[in-house]
Chain A
C-alpha cells in the first residue's frame, strides 16, 4: 500500500505539471479520446464522463508560470486567473483540449468564454449558464434544457450517443467520488493535524486531471494510509478558509496559514468536487436528477444568488459550528468581484454570530508570505486569548 508521502508526492507532481502530461497520456492511450476543460466553480462532469471524455479542471497558471502574452489581453485591474489561463492557451499547453467550459461565475470568466471563441475557434466552447431561479418549474426546466443541450453538443463532438444508462453510471461514479471527498473533509474537521490543508488541496487538485475512477482510488488509498500516520496534534486554532473558490491560492499561502498556527477545518477549495452536497439519484431521469441536485442540494457561494435574506451567509456560520472552527479567514483574490462584494455581508453575519474573522487578498502568483503569516499568526493568537478569557 502506498504511503501518504508517496500519494501526496504524486499529487504534487500532477499539480506542478502545467503541460498536463497525465491528460495527454490518457488521450494517447486510446484513439479518439477527447478532453474537455472547465473552469471554476462547477460543471456537471458526469455528462462529460458519460460521453467517454475526460473533464479537466483548468485553474490558471498558479505561481509557476511567467505570464508573457496574457498580460497583453487584460488591464491591470482584472484578476490574474484569466490572464494566466490565456497564457496556458497561447503557449500551447492546452492544445490537447477539444473543448472548454466556462461556468457563469463572474463577468471576467463569462467574457473569457468569448475570448476563447475568438482566439481558439477550432475548440468547442461552452459558456455554462446556471439558473439563479431555483423553482423546479422555472429554473429547473431551464437548467435541464441547458444540460440536454450540453449532452447534445458532446454527442456531436464525440460522435456517439450519450445514453441515459451511461449517465446514470457516471452519476454513480461521481457520487462515490463525492462521498470520498466528504469523508476526507470530515476526517480533517475531526483531526486536522492528520490532514493538513495543503495535502487536502493537492488531493482535490489531482482530481482535476485524473479520471474520476483513478481519483477515487487515490482518495481511498490516502484515507487508508493516513490511519497509519503518526502526526502530532499542535496547539493550533481551527479556522474556516473562504473566498478561494476561483483563482487558486498559491500553495505556500495555504501552508503559511497552517504554519502560523491555524488548522483549516473547512474551505471552499475546488468546489466542483463537493458542489452537490448529497448523492444524486442514480435511477430515473439522469438529467432531471442532476438539475434537481443543483437546485436543491448544492453549496452556497458568492456566485450564486441567495433568495432568502435571512439565509445569506448562514452556510459559513454552519461550517464554523459543524467543524468546531473558532474563526474565519477571508482570503480573496485581488479584483475578485464575487468574493470581495460578498465579503462585507458575510462579515456582518459572522459578527452577529460572534465569530471572529480576518481578511486579506492574494493573487495566484503572490510570492511574499511573511505578511500572511503575521496576519494569520496574530489572528490565531487572538483566538487563543479570547477562548481562554
Chain B
C-alpha cells in the first residue's frame, strides 16, 4: 500500500501537466502531510464536507481541514475505492447507498491511509455542513459513532423557491453564532476573532474572482479550457482546504496567466495527451464525473474533439459565476449565503435556468447529463431537467450513467456508445440547421 504514491508518480510522468497542476499537486501533498502530522504537531483536525465548507472559519481556529469526499476522490483516482466500497458492504452497508460514504467507511476499516501512505488522524471535530445533500447527515452520524467526537450540525435550508429568504439567512447566522462558533472555540481552545475571518474572506474573494475569469474563458472559441475534466483541477484549491489562503490566491494567479497564455496562442484545452486539436463539439455537462476511470472517461471526449465549456459539478462547492463573492463586510451572512448558494442546494427550476444559460452563453451544442448512481441530490430530477433545458434552448441533450467512485458502475463501452450517438445527433442537428440557416440568412 505504501508504494502507491510512488506508482502514481510513475504513471503521472506520461501525463502532460501545466504548472498550475503541478502546483496544486504540491499543495495537496503538503496538506495531506499537514493532516497526517497534525497530532504530532499539536494541531486539531476537523472533518467537514465540500459543499458548504467553512474553510475560512475553521482557519480562524487553527483547525486542519479534512474532507472525506476529497479522500474518496483520491481513492477513486488511485483505484482503491472499489475495494473500500466492497469492504463497507461486507460490514453491513447496503449496496444501494452512496459510494462516497462506503469508500470512506471502507478506507477507515482498512487503515485509513492518506494518499501519502500514512494513516489519517482521528478527527477532533466533525463539522456537519448539512448543505445540499441528505446523505451528509447520515455520513457524519456514522463517523461520529466511530470517532465519538464533538459533532456540529450546521443546517442549511434549501432554496426550493429559488431565493434566500431573511428567515433562512437569520437561521444560519444564529446557528453560526450560538452553536458553531462556541463549539469551535471549545474544541480548538482558540478565541474567535472576526477580523481574522474578514481577512480570510477577502482572500477568498480574490481567488474566486480569478476562478470565475478562468471558467468564463470557455465562452471563447476555441475554449482554452475544459470546464469539466480540466475544471475539476481548477476548482480543487477553492473547493478544498485552501479557500481563504495565500496559496489559493497564488494558484489562481498562476492558472489565470496560463489560461491567458493559451488564449493568446489560440490554443484549446490541455488534455492528458497534450493540446486538444480541433474543437468539434462544445458541451455543457450536468452531474459529477466518474473518478475510477477518470482518464479513460475524459479520453472519450477529447478523442472526439469534444470540449466541456461549462459544468454544474464545478459549482458544487460554490456558485461564483452569477456574482456571489465572499464578502468580508458581512462575514457571517456571507458564509450563510455561500452555503445556501451551492449548486446542489438550488431548486430544480434554478438548475434548469442555470444550465440553459450556460448552453446559450457558452454557445454549446447541448447538455449532457452524467447521472451518478450514488448521488440522489444531483440525480433525482435530472431527466426532467434535461427535457426542460432542451425545450428552453432547442439544443439536443443526452444522458449517460456512471458512478463517482464505484468502478462496478462504469461501463466504458456503454458510455462510449452513447457519447458517439450523441455526437452524431449533434452533427445531424447542425446539418439540419444549415439549410434553414442559409434560408434565413437575410434575417
Among A129-137, A207-215, A271-279, the stretch that binds chain B is A129-137
Specify which chain B residues have a CB less than 8 angstroms from the CB of A96 in the assembled complex.
none
Which residues of B94-121 have CB atoms within 8 Å of chain A's CB atoms? 94, 96-98, 101
Q: How large is the interface on A (under 10, 10 to 19, 20 to 34, 35 or more residues)?
A: 35 or more
Specify which chain A residues have a CB less than 8 angstroms from the CB of B377 in the assembled complex.
107, 110-111
Among A8-16, A33-41, A222-230, A333-341, the stretch that binds chain B is A333-341
Specify which chain B residues have a CB less than 8 angstroms from the CB of A82 in the assembled complex.
380
Q: Of B98, B128, B134, B401, which one neighbours A110 at CB under 8 angstroms?
A: B134
B379 touches A75 (CB 8 A): yes
Q: How far is the CB of A349 from chain B (nearest CB, A)?
A: 9
Which residues of A50-109 have CB atoms within 8 Å of chain B's CB atoms? 72-75, 77-78, 82, 104-108
Q: How far is the CB of B410 from chain A (nearest CB, A)?
A: 14
Interface centre among B167, B351, B381, by most chain A C-beta atoms within 10 angstroms, is B381
Q: How far is the CB of A102 from chain B (nearest CB, A)?
A: 8
Specify which chain A residues have a CB less than 8 angstroms from the CB of B96 in the assembled complex.
77, 334-337, 340, 361
Specify the chain A residue showing the minimal Cβ separation from B139: A341
In the bound complex, CA of A129 to CA of B160 (Å): 9
Specify the chain B residue showing the minimal Cβ separation from A114: B348
B381 touches A115 (CB 8 A): yes
* CB-based A-B contact count at 8 angstroms: 164
Q: Of B101, B348, B371, B401, which one neighbours A115 at CB under 8 angstroms?
A: B348
B380 touches A307 (CB 8 A): no
Specify the chain A residue showing the minimal Cβ separation from B101: A341
Specify the chain B residue showing the minimal Cβ separation from A129: B157
B171 touches A132 (CB 8 A): no
Interface centre among B93, B165, B351, B376, by most chain A C-beta atoms within 10 angstroms, is B376
Among A141-149, A171-179, A287-295, A380-388, the stretch that binds chain B is A141-149
Specify the chain B residue showing the minimal Cβ separation from A146: B167
A112 touches B381 (CB 8 A): yes
**Residue B210 lies at the interface, judged by CB distance under 8 Å to chain A:** no
Contacts A75-B379, A345-B141 given; does A133 touch B384 at CB 8 Å: no
In the bound complex, CA of A132 to CA of B142 (Å): 17
**Residue A348 lies at the interface, judged by CB distance under 8 Å to chain B:** yes
Complex interface bits, B129-168 against A, C-beta within 8 A gives 1, otherwise 0 = 0100111011101101100100101010110110001011
In the bound complex, CA of A307 to CA of B171 (Å): 17
Specify which chain A residues have a CB less than 8 angstroms from the CB of B384 in the assembled complex.
73, 115, 118-119
B349 touches A114 (CB 8 A): yes
Specify which chain A residues have a CB less than 8 angstroms from the CB of B133 in the assembled complex.
107
Q: Of A107, A117, A341, A347, which one neighbours B142 at CB under 8 angstroms?
A: A341
In the bound complex, CA of A257 to CA of B301 (Å): 51
- Count how many chain B residues have C-beta atoms less than 8 Å from C-beta atoms of the other chain: 54
B92 touches A344 (CB 8 A): yes
Q: How far is the CB of B174 from chain A (nearest CB, A)?
A: 5
Specify the chain B residue showing the minimal Cβ separation from A119: B384
| Main SS class of interface, A | helix
In the bound complex, CA of A388 to CA of B155 (Å): 48
Contacts A111-B381, A119-B384 given; does A131 touch B134 at CB 8 Å: no
Q: How far is the CB of B336 from chain A (nearest CB, A)?
A: 12
Specify which chain B residues have a CB less than 8 angstroms from the CB of A268 in the assembled complex.
none
Q: Of A104, A108, A118, A145, which one neighbours B376 at CB under 8 angstroms?
A: A108
Specify which chain B residues have a CB less than 8 angstroms from the CB of A135 in the assembled complex.
178-179
A75 touches B167 (CB 8 A): no
B352 touches A118 (CB 8 A): yes
B160 touches A118 (CB 8 A): no
Q: How far is the CB of A295 from chain B (nearest CB, A)?
A: 13
**Residue A343 lies at the interface, judged by CB distance under 8 Å to chain B:** yes
Specify which chain A residues have a CB less than 8 angstroms from the CB of B141 in the assembled complex.
305-306, 312, 342, 345
Specify which chain B residues have a CB less than 8 angstroms from the CB of A312 in the assembled complex.
141, 145
Specify which chain B residues have a CB less than 8 angstroms from the CB of A132 in the assembled complex.
130, 137, 153, 155
B153 touches A337 (CB 8 A): no
Q: How far is the CB of B348 from chain A (nearest CB, A)?
A: 3
In the bound complex, CA of A112 to CA of B401 (Å): 20
**Residue B67 lies at the interface, judged by CB distance under 8 Å to chain A:** no
Specify the chain A residue showing the minimal Cβ separation from B399: A75
Specify which chain B residues have a CB less than 8 angstroms from the CB of A343 in the assembled complex.
92, 94
B171 touches A139 (CB 8 A): yes
B349 touches A78 (CB 8 A): no
**Residue B91 lies at the interface, judged by CB distance under 8 Å to chain A:** yes
Specify which chain B residues have a CB less than 8 angstroms from the CB of A110 in the assembled complex.
134, 158, 160, 377, 380
A340 touches B158 (CB 8 A): no
Specify which chain B residues have a CB less than 8 angstroms from the CB of A104 in the assembled complex.
158
Specify which chain A residues have a CB less than 8 angstroms from the CB of B148 in the assembled complex.
309
A74 touches B94 (CB 8 A): no
**Residue B388 lies at the interface, judged by CB distance under 8 Å to chain A:** yes
A129 touches B348 (CB 8 A): no
Q: Of A118, A139, A332, A340, which one neighbours B348 at CB under 8 angstroms?
A: A118
**Residue A26 lies at the interface, judged by CB distance under 8 Å to chain B:** no
Specify which chain A residues have a CB less than 8 angstroms from the CB of B138 in the assembled complex.
302, 337-338, 341-342
**Residue A127 lies at the interface, judged by CB distance under 8 Å to chain B:** yes
Contacts A340-B96, A341-B101 given; does A78 touch B380 at CB 8 Å: yes
In the bound complex, CA of A340 to CA of B102 (Å): 12
A75 touches B348 (CB 8 A): no
A138 touches B179 (CB 8 A): yes
Q: How far is the CB of B310 from chain A (nearest CB, A)?
A: 20
**Residue A242 lies at the interface, judged by CB distance under 8 Å to chain B:** no
Which residues of B297-351 have CB atoms within 8 Å of chain A's CB atoms? 347-349, 351
**Residue A170 lies at the interface, judged by CB distance under 8 Å to chain B:** no
B155 touches A139 (CB 8 A): yes
B137 touches A138 (CB 8 A): no
Extra A-B contacts (17), CB below 8 Å, given A74-B383, A341-B139? A106-B134, A107-B134, A108-B376, A110-B160, A113-B160, A113-B348, A118-B384, A138-B174, A138-B179, A142-B174, A145-B167, A149-B165, A149-B167, A305-B141, A336-B96, A341-B101, A361-B96
Q: Show 25 residue pairs from A and B whose CB-CB distance is below 8 angstroms, ordered by the A residue.
A: A77-B379, A106-B134, A106-B376, A107-B376, A110-B134, A111-B381, A114-B349, A118-B352, A119-B384, A127-B160, A138-B179, A145-B167, A146-B167, A305-B141, A305-B153, A307-B153, A309-B148, A312-B141, A334-B96, A335-B96, A336-B96, A337-B98, A341-B93, A342-B141, A345-B142
Q: 4 closest A-B pairs (Cβ-Cβ)?
A: A114-B348, A127-B160, A341-B138, A142-B171
